[in-house]
Amino acid sequence: MDRIRIVGGNELHGVIPISGAKNAALPLMIASLLTDDTLTLENVPHLADVEQLIRILGNHGADISVNGRRERQGESYARTVHFTSRNIVSTTAPYELVSKMRASFWVIGPLLAREGKARVSLPGGCAIGTRPVDLFIEGLAALGANIEIDGGYVNATAPAGGLIGARYVFPKVSVGATHVLMMAATLANGTTVLGNAAREPEVVDLAKCLNAMGAKISGQGTSTVTIEGVRSLSGARHRVLPDRIETGTYAMAVAMAGGDVILEDTEASLLDTALEAIRRAGAEISETNSGVRIVRNGAGIKPVDIVTDPFPGFPTDLQAQFMGLMTRSSGVSHITETIFENRFMHVQELARLGAKISLSGQTAKVEGVSRLKGAPVMATDLRASVSLVIAGLAAEGETMVSRVYHLDRGFERLEEKLTRCGAHVERVSD
């Protein structure tokens, strides 16, 4: 099993290209099930989650190629991928596939809208109260779907004439449920209005692509999204937006290690709140013609309090990374997680490096220390794993991160990108 070895102490200087956003690519890929024409997506990252979704879409009958070739022969960087779902051969998403990636549950929306039925496994490890799917089910039911849960599967059927436009207000903001209901409503009869909808850039990107396919969506980026149903969607060509989580992660890596790096092919407007927190921590951030420049030369890291919130608030997917940065601050910071429970699993691993962190409910108190010391640590999830890399960049000696398959789910060529900027980071295979 692969591990990541980091020898801390080197500043970062150079250019890091930012990949296409995983959190945008996944719903865009799933949207290909809504049409029998070809959907071409540019700037698709090469990640384990993307490859898993390719397998899932293939199970439903999608034909997938990369730059005109079969997907297994494609390039592994900034790929262009063609999805053609001319014939849906199965409306069942089996447990053995869905259990490996939660976002694969989202196929329920397009399958139900286009084929009138879907049988999709509940996501692995998902009791309907923790990261629940109840919002998906309630929303689809509001569009007229008949839904039953049996044997660990959600069985959904549309009325004889198809889904029916309706008004649905999310009890709480959910990016995934907004994606699914927006996709389903594109082929519904009549107009659908989604209240308290997610405002994330990835939702806006999906709406942009769906509109290019012939959908009639307005209000994306606000809390009220309106979808006028159409009879069918066509193919389109769409470029996946830059990964704001990767952007923020590398910005924090530079703030931690020091140096001067340009994050290329990204946009500051995608993560204003996070960049402002990094500025307050002591880094200089400016926009350039090619992306975003991060500089921290000599000055210490200042303590900053943050609270995670739906967009445009501080992203929960950057919380672990920011905690890694705060372990070396010159004072005490408080990090409050309001989106997901159990998202402080990285605390104990950061403590192995010498971090001083205490938990009280949803809030972590981080007392900055003058030095971290390398140690063997274990990644517990995608974002937690990269927080350990950030801490390792500033730790004395060697940090060895195990279970890096978590990293491969969401960060394309991480060790290569950091090494090109002077970090001592390498992948070690046992």
CA distance 43 to 417: 17
Please write the tens of the pLDDT for every residue from 275-289.
Answer: 999 999 999 999 999
Q: Taking the alpha carbons of 39, 45, 51, 56 in that order, is the dihedral positive or negative?
A: negative
For position 298, what pLDDT does the model report? 78
CA distance 197 to 94: 28
The answer to whether the annotation marks 173 as part of a ligand binding site is yes
For position 78, what pLDDT does the model report? 75
Contacting residues for 51 by C-beta, under 8 A, at least 6 apart: none
The answer to whether the annotation marks 132 as part of a ligand binding site is yes
For position 125, what pLDDT does the model report? 43
pLDDT-derived band at 253, boundaries 50, 70, 90: very high
Catalytic residue positions, numbered: 126
Domains 2-19+242-429 and 22-239 share a fold: yes
What percentage of residues in the chain have a pLDDT greater than 70? 96
Contacting residues for 329 by C-beta, under 8 A, at least 6 apart: 281, 300, 301, 302, 303, 304, 366, 368
For position 129, what pLDDT does the model report? 34
> Does residue 297 surpass a pLDDT of 90?
no
Please write the tens of the pLDDT for every residue from 165-194.
Answer: 999 999 999 999 999 999 999 999 999 999
pLDDT-derived band at 77, boundaries 50, 70, 90: low
Please write the tens of the pLDDT for every residue from 225-246.
Answer: 999 999 999 999 999 999 999 9
pTM of the model: 0.94
The answer to whether the annotation marks 135 as part of a ligand binding site is yes
The answer to whether the annotation marks 155 as part of a ligand binding site is no
What is the CATH topology of the domain spanning 2-19+242-429?
UDP-n-acetylglucosamine1-carboxyvinyl-transferase; Chain (3.65.10)
The answer to whether the annotation marks 305 as part of a ligand binding site is no
The answer to whether the annotation marks 420 as part of a ligand binding site is no
Please write the tens of the pLDDT for every residue from 124-152.
Answer: 543 333 456 899 999 999 999 999 999 98
Query: What is the 3-state secondary structure of the chain?
Result: CEEEEEECCCCEEEEEECCECHHHHHHHHHHHHHCCCEEEEEEECCCHHHHHHHHHHHHHCCEEEECCEEHHHCCCCCEEEEEECCCCCCCEECHHHHCCCHHHHHHHHHHHHHHCEEEEECCCCCCCCCCCCHHHHHHHHHCCCEEEEECCEEEEECCCCCCECCEEECCCCCHHHHHHHHHHHCCCECEEEEECCCCCHHHHHHHHHHHHCCCEEECECECEEEEECCCCCCCEEEECCECHHHHHHHHHHHHHHCEEEEEECCCHHHHHHHHHHHHHCCCEEEECCCEEEEEECCCCECCCCEEECCCCCECHHHHHHHHHHHCCECCEEEEECCCCCCCCCCHHHHHHCCCEEEEECCEEEEECCCCCECCEEECCCHHHHHHHHHHHHHCECEEEEECCHHHHHHCCCHHHHHHCCCCEEEEEEC
The answer to whether the annotation marks 102 as part of a ligand binding site is yes
307 dihedral zone (left: phi>0; alpha: psi -120 to 50; beta): beta
The token pair that represents 282 in the structure block: 């002591």
For position 128, what pLDDT does the model report? 30
> Does residue 213 surpass a pLDDT of 80?
yes
Q: Please, are residues 7 and 418 in contact by the beta-carbon 8 Å criterion? A: no
- Class for the domain spanning 22-239: alpha beta
> Does residue 14 surpass a pLDDT of 50?
yes
For position 68, what pLDDT does the model report? 47
Residue-range domain boundaries for the chain: 2-19+242-429, 22-239
> Does residue 75 surpass a pLDDT of 50?
no
Mean pLDDT over all residues of the chain?
Answer: 93
The answer to whether the annotation marks 174 as part of a ligand binding site is yes
The length of the chain in residues reads 430
> Does residue 404 surpass a pLDDT of 70?
yes
The token pair that represents 358 in the structure block: 């205490």
> Does residue 400 surpass a pLDDT of 50?
yes
> Does residue 386 surpass a pLDDT of 80?
yes
Please write the tens of the pLDDT for every residue from 345-383.
Answer: 899 999 999 999 999 999 999 999 999 999 999 988 877
> Does residue 71 surpass a pLDDT of 60?
no
Q: How far is CA 106 from the centre of its chain?
A: 14
For position 330, what pLDDT does the model report? 97
